[in-house]
Structure 1
Amino acid sequence: MRRLVIALLVLVGLFIAVDYGAAALAESAVSRQMRDQIGLVDDPSVRINGFPFLTQAISGQYSSVDVEATHIRVGELQELGVRAQLRDVTAPLPMLLGSGPKSLSVKAVEGTVQIPASDVERLVPGIEKLRIENVDDYALEQVVVDEGADKSLRTIDPENAVRLVGTASMLGEKAEVSVIAVLELVDGQARITPRDIRLGGSDADPLPPAVQRTLQQQFTLRIDPGALPLAATPTKLRAVGGALEISGYADDLTLGGNAVSATG
């Protein structure tokens, strides 16, 4: 019995090793395909989800594939993150591992571009150590009630709001600047419109109108991170994880060569 158990454990170990090895080969093939598809310089990170891999490979049907790349440059932006989540992918294993042309059918794609604080900082003159923070209803109410901000801030949807915090140089002195702004998605680009600006922290007194106008111009931005991966249509802009994130969806795609086409 002991020998049988040992033999079974060895077989299980061999199966897992073969499964992971085959998955790694397939992920490498998909990575090369995605590099050309998304127009990257280097191969992105690819993960084929689900275990065991071999049962998916035999059928050629994969429930979920995640593709991710970082440090992408677009114009003045240098640290963009790109992510694509592919769902219900059809790709026969011989085709994936073969040397010929690759073609993948994808039922649904969620594409995402993340703009980190370091890239936003590059677009705001005179600002250092910029942070991107989320804002909730309580924070908006507190600014209005306790700090005397414009009452119209109460009408902002927190999902469409952001707080930008950094260090500004004013008259030879450095001070913390806190900006509550509205986020809008316009033609696939991120538009940032300041609504409340404080020097010395979020609980500081309101600024004189002239200073407020100057800083509002400084923080009014329109950021173009380029197209979303795999022809996804941008639908949402939000602050998440210390970055600005534009995301969207595409359905029924065929990926082959350097082209993306709709199958529906």
Structure 2
Amino acid sequence: MRALRILLVVAVILGGVFVIVDRLALNYAESEVAKRIQSRQGLTGAVDVSIKGFPFLTQVASKHLDQVDVGVEGVEASAQGRTVRISELTAELHDVRVTGSFSGFSDATADRATGTARISYEDLSAASESDFPVSYGGDGKVKVTGSVELLGRKITRSVLSSVSVVDGSTIRVRADEVPGEGLPGIEEQIREKTDFDRRISGLPEGLKLEKAEPTKDGLEISVTGTNVGLAG
């Protein structure tokens, strides 16, 4: 009986040691993956990585991670030659394949990923390349306000616009309606300022834009992807 108690105590101690070692290894891996993502994407903002599943060491042995959650602040993408700041990007990456050893892996690729990118209205206004500021218009719309000169007269209009995603890479903003009040040419001139397409590039390889939703805090864009490069 005493021997059995000793074995139980030893088992508990070894189990505790395993958990500690597993958590230390996990913390180290999360830190290393965050550094690789920063390096790969040339990021200056904070990167947060959370590797799901327990125990972690068995996942390392199989070189397969069930899920990795990534949060990145201040991503700089490009839109037709202009820099577009994505204030926040979060992604869930599933079935991540790791190449190399846990302490010095050479690459990590996720079979599939889902996430959300957020662009502030200030940054969206800058991407529009016009003097018309973009703001939240309520009810899933954005509001674009500005002025044009027509026949020596300054005309100011606010229009509600719909935002959509085209071809998995382009944000499209289109005014639902432009009040013209019978003035010839006013709608065309205002639409030249309010309507725009911006192709977004520079996101992690494998991610594409899925859907855009205006909110009070900015434009939320759903992203999805396959064979997404996590680090390398």
Same fold (TM over 0.5): yes
Deviation at 1:119, TM superposition (A): 1.0
**Matched residues in 2 for 1:26 and 1:63: separation?**
14
Check the 8 A contact 1:131/1:165 in 2, yes or no: yes
Q: Does 1:56 align with 2:59?
A: yes
Equivalent residue for 1:224, pick from 189, 199, 208: 199
8 and 177 in structure 1: CA distance in 2 versus 1, 3 angstrom threshold = farther
Greater percentage in strand: 2
Unaligned runs of 5+ in 1: 136-162, 198-205, 258-264
Matched, 1:237 2:211: yes
Q: Which residue of 2 aligns with 1:247?
A: 223
Of 82, 85, 95, which aligns to 1:88? Answer: 95
Q: State how far apart, in whole Å, the 2-side matches of 1:180 and 1:186 are.
A: 19
Backbone CA RMSD of aligned residues: 4.1
Which structure has more helix as a fraction of its residues?
Answer: 1
> What's the CA shift for 1:118?
2.0
Q: Does 1:103 align with 2:107?
A: yes
Matches for 1:101-250 after TM superposition, within 5 Å: 102-110=106-114, 113-122=117-126, 123=128, 124-127=130-133, 130-131=135-136, 133-135=138-140, 163-165=141-143, 168=146, 177-186=158-167, 188-197=169-178, 208-210=181-183, 211-232=186-207, 234=208, 236-239=210-213, 241=215, 242-245=218-221, 247-250=223-226
* Among 9, 28, 39, the residue aligned to 1:36: 39
For this pair of structures, how many residues does the alignment match? 211
TM-score (norm 2): 0.68
Identity %: 21
Instruction: State the TM-score, normalizing by the size of structure 1.
Output: 0.61
Unmatched 5+ residue regions in structure 2?
1-5, 150-155
Distance 1:235 1:224, change over 3 A: closer
